[in-house]
Amino acid sequence: MKGTNVEGAKCVCSPPPRESPLDQEAIWRGLANGTFTVFSSDHAPFRFHDPDGKMRGMKMHPEGKQGHFKHIPNGLPGLETRLPLLFNGVVEGRLTPQKFVELTATNPAKLYGCYPAKGTLLPGLSDADLVIWYPESKGAKTVTNGDLHHDVDYTPYEGMKVANWPRYTVLRGEIIYEAGKVLGKKGQGEFLKRGKSSLSSPGNKFLSDLRFED
């Protein structure tokens, strides 16, 4: 926060991004072994060059000093980059394709009571929502904010290389995104009433099977 260089405000979130290879390896291991049930993003889309966005950190300190950490809005834009970042783990052999689907689709749908309409493909029960990726070695991409569709003036992943990027997104059998272009229309979504979670209930079979020892 010293001087006018407040680029670090772009990455203020909880928990903060981990740079240590040991920390990163532990997170990958937790994703693979089931420690983490879902892979998600709260997507806090604060603009950087905005007096009410990340630049709030430059507001006057109560004691008259310029710049204060507590004024920086907490969170990062990450909705559109979430799946490609995780898909790196599939290409690198850290995650199986099945585990990728489990973390990003099946488990979230079960957790929020939307399964089997979402999170799987079952004839007569599911909505035919799909993300289709490029063939191997053909979807590599360098992340740039200009290619993203969020209304934010930066991405914390600027310049990062990902091994693949979604080629198509299909909503209820209709293509709504193709090779960088959004084809969906306003009002195309449908309200889905949530049911009971099949993952978080105390009566969940997984929890009832746990045994604790002194």
Domain boundaries of the chain, sorted by first residue: 7-183
Q: How open is the CA angle 209-98-96, to the nearest 5 degrees?
A: 105
> Which of 36, 48, 120 is closest to 86 using CA atoms?
36
Using CB atoms within 10 A of its CB, is residue 87 exposed (0-12), middle (13-18) or buried (19+)?
buried
The confidence score (pLDDT) of residue 69 equals 79
Query: What pLDDT was estimated at residue 150?
Result: 92
Do 166 and 177 meet the contact criterion of CB atoms below 8 Å apart? yes
| Res. 127: pLDDT tops 80 | yes
Q: How far is CA 182 from CA 84, 93, 127, 165, 201, in A?
A: 17, 30, 19, 14, 37
Straight-line distance from the first to the last Cα atom of the chain, in angstroms, rounded to the nearest whole number: 48
pLDDT at residue 136 greater than cutoff 90: no
Tokens of 63: 């004691």
The pLDDT of residue 65: 60
Of 10-19, 22-31, 59-68, 81-90, the poorest mean pLDDT is in: 59-68
Task: Give the pLDDT confidence score for residue 4 in this predicted structure.
Answer: 54
pLDDT score at 37:
94
Q: Where are the beta strands (DSSP E) in 66-139?
A: 130-133
Identity (one letter) of the amino acid at 9? A
pTM: predicted TM-score of the whole model, two decimal places: 0.84
Identify which of 72, 81, 98 has the alpha carbon closest to the alpha carbon of residue 164: 81
Q: What is the structure's pLDDT at 61? A: 56
The stretch 150-176 carries a mean pLDDT of: 95
The per-residue pLDDT for 135 is 92
**Cβ–Cβ under 8 Å, residues 55 and 48:** yes
Gap between the Cα atoms of 143 and 85, Å rounded? 10
Residue type, 27: I
Stretch (H or E) spanning 162: strand 161-162
Does position 202 have pLDDT exceeding 80, yes or no?
no
| Mean per-residue pLDDT over the chain, rounded | 87
Q: Which band of pLDDT confidence, cut at 50, 70 and 90, is reported for residue 60?
A: low
CATH topology of domain 7-183: TIM Barrel (3.20.20)
pLDDT of residue 210: 47
Alpha-carbon span 2 to 203, nearest angstrom: 52
pLDDT (tens digit, 9 = 90+) per residue, 88-109? 999 999 999 999 999 999 999 9
CA distances from 81 to 86, 135, 158, 162 (A): 9, 19, 10, 9
CA 134 to CA 146: how far, in whole Å?
21
Is 90 exceeded by the pLDDT of residue 17?
no
Side chain identity, residue 156: P
* The pLDDT of residue 68: 74
Residues 137-158 have pLDDT tens digits of: 799 999 999 999 999 999 999 9
